[in-house]
Amino acid sequence: MAALLILALLGAGCVSETPVIPPEESHGEVGIMYTAAGQMPVLLSTGQIDGYMVWQPFVSVATASGIGKVVSYSQDLPPAGTWTDHTCCALSGREDFIKANTDVVNAIAALLILSGNYIQENPDRTAEISANWLFGGADMTFGAVTISSNDVLKGSIPTIRFSSVPSTEWLQSNDRFIEALRDIGYLTGSLKDAPSEDVREMLYDFSNYEAARAMVDAGEIKTPQKLTKPLSLGYLPSDHDAPLFVAIKDWEYFNEKFGIALKPRVNVPGKVDVADLIVNGVMVAEVKLVQGEGGAQLMTLMATDALQMAYAGTPPTISAIDKGTAIKILFPTQNEGSGLVVAASAPVTDWDSFIVWIDARSAEGTPLKIAAPIRGSIQDVQIKYALQDSGVVVKEV
């Protein structure tokens, strides 16, 4: 079961323009190949790849198991400062649902803000909850290597920036993604030719975040009217969704301290399928928790009203809006959280020595092979951007 869940961990990110490097600054060559995130540690441990660029917890898998080591976390990749606070996961909602149930959306937003804050103060508890939700607390096996899922998550959680603030850097990261999608012809709908001053209005509605933030700051959550039918909330099986897992598994803490909770209908280990949204002691909504296989799948479910809200990456949400799905990004829930890993035996300690290794391997006629997830994902673009900025020739293999 753990192996299946590992392979199911999916995500999506943004793409951006790649810099043009003067020939006199050129270095060696790197091949980029695409594969599922769950396969990357096995490929690295068996020497089929030299490294990989991926989201957590697979960066932590490498370090916890001894398979590999981190060259750079995503926010520190060159050019310096480019990826600070970069986009990843966000809460989104159908426009019709938001309009009809504003107070419920505000309450859920407030809870996720609070649980994001909780993670910063309780990383070990968050790791324990996430390991149990995602893997049932079981060990993770990659070829001949077996490691504790709890140890992996303890290494992963501190490297993810759990933030609900729609910062300037976060917005600019999404702007870069949109421009890149235009350049490669992936946008064909409403965002394709929209003026830049209109794009943000088409993508975002921060009013629920602002209302939720005001309630959190005031220490009083408004009790919504009870929904007449269940709310379906989609999410992905990734530790990037830890604020949702924490809010549900530690519901008693949030209920007692803040008067709001997502109480599981059934107290079971691992993931939860149904929870009750309770505000000030009143059950206001039945929340069905729908685990998706990827952000694009969740967006398809939102388009058909099978989901009313979703916890997923901003890139698939942006693509869905471009195609005409009437949804809005409400606020970020998590930023950063990816990294570049190489084999433990590699003669590399940082980005500069990584470039030296690239040159040496290219001179030998055996260019490095680096795995990345989906083509056009944030991880794919970040590694290509960084390599080309350093004068490395990048080829897809």
126 in the same domain as 231: yes
* Domains of the chain: total: 2
Query: CA 362 from chain center: how many Å?
Result: 33
Backbone phi, then psi, for 56, in 5-degree steps? Answer: -70, 150
How wide is the angle at C-alpha 238 spanned by C-alphas 341 and 93, nearest 5°? 130
Residue 38 maps to a domain: yes
47 in the same domain as 116: no
Which of 31, 41, 33 has the alpha carbon at shortest distance from 7?
A: 41
pLDDT at 186: 74
Provide the token pair at 68: 């590999």
In three-state secondary structure terms, 287 is strand
Is the N-terminal amide bond of 57 cis, ω within 30° of 0? yes
pLDDT tens, residue by residue, 267-294: 899 999 999 999 999 999 999 999 998 8
Q: Count CB-CB contacts under 10 A for residue 45.
A: 20
| Residues in the chain with pLDDT values less than 50 | 1-24
Q: Which of 310, 336, 362 is the last residue of a domain?
A: 336
- In 260-350, which ranges are continuous DSSP H helix? 295-303, 314-322
Residue 381 maps to a domain: yes
332 in the same domain as 342: no
Q: Please say whether the beta carbons of 130 and 157 come within 8 A.
A: yes
Return d(Cα 275, Cα 283) in angstroms, integer.
Answer: 10
Residue 153 maps to a domain: no
Residue 11 maps to a domain: no
- Residue 80 amino acid letter: A
Residue 149 maps to a domain: no
pTM of the model: 0.85
Q: Please say whether the beta carbons of 298 and 307 come within 8 A.
A: yes
- In the chain, which ranges are continuous DSSP H helix? 2-8, 40-45, 58-65, 95-100, 102-121, 123-135, 149-156, 168-183, 196-203, 207-218, 242-249, 251-258, 295-303, 314-322, 351-364, 378-389
Return d(Cα 292, Cα 26) in angstroms, integer.
Answer: 42
How wide is the angle at C-alpha 376 spanned by C-alphas 352 and 46, nearest 5°? 60
What lies within 8 Å, CB to CB, of 213 at 6+ separation is 110, 113, 164
Q: Please say whether the beta carbons of 315 and 177 come within 8 A.
A: yes
314 in the same domain as 195: yes
Provide the token pair at 227: 């929904």
275 in the same domain as 193: yes
Provide the token pair at 327: 């949804």
365 in the same domain as 322: no
Residue range(s) defining the domain that contains residue 227: 89-138+164-336
351 in the same domain as 311: no
Return d(Cα 261, Cα 254) in angstroms, integer.
Answer: 6
Q: Which of 336, 368, 386 is the last residue of a domain?
A: 336
What lies within 8 Å, CB to CB, of 317 at 6+ separation is 90, 92, 295, 299, 310, 327, 329
Return d(Cα 311, Cα 353) in angstroms, integer.
Answer: 37
Residue 158 maps to a domain: no
355 in the same domain as 307: no
How wide is the angle at C-alpha 124 spanned by C-alphas 144 and 339, nearest 5°? 55
368 in the same domain as 251: no
Backbone phi, then psi, for 229, in 5-degree steps? Answer: -145, 160
Q: Please say whether the beta carbons of 242 and 126 come within 8 A.
A: yes
Classify residue 175 as exposed, middle or buried by CB count within 10 Å of its CB (0-12, 13-18, 19+): middle
Q: Please say whether the beta carbons of 335 and 318 come within 8 A.
A: no
223 in the same domain as 361: no
Radius of gyration of the chain, Cα coordinates, nearest whole angstrom: 21
Backbone phi, then psi, for 140, in 5-degree steps? Answer: -110, 130
Q: Which of 313, 336, 359 is the last residue of a domain?
A: 336
181 in the same domain as 58: no
pLDDT at 184: 61
362 in the same domain as 216: no
Q: Please say whether the beta carbons of 90 and 330 come within 8 A.
A: yes
Return d(Cα 270, Cα 308) in angstroms, integer.
Answer: 24
Residue 349 maps to a domain: yes
Is the N-terminal amide bond of 79 cis, ω within 30° of 0? yes
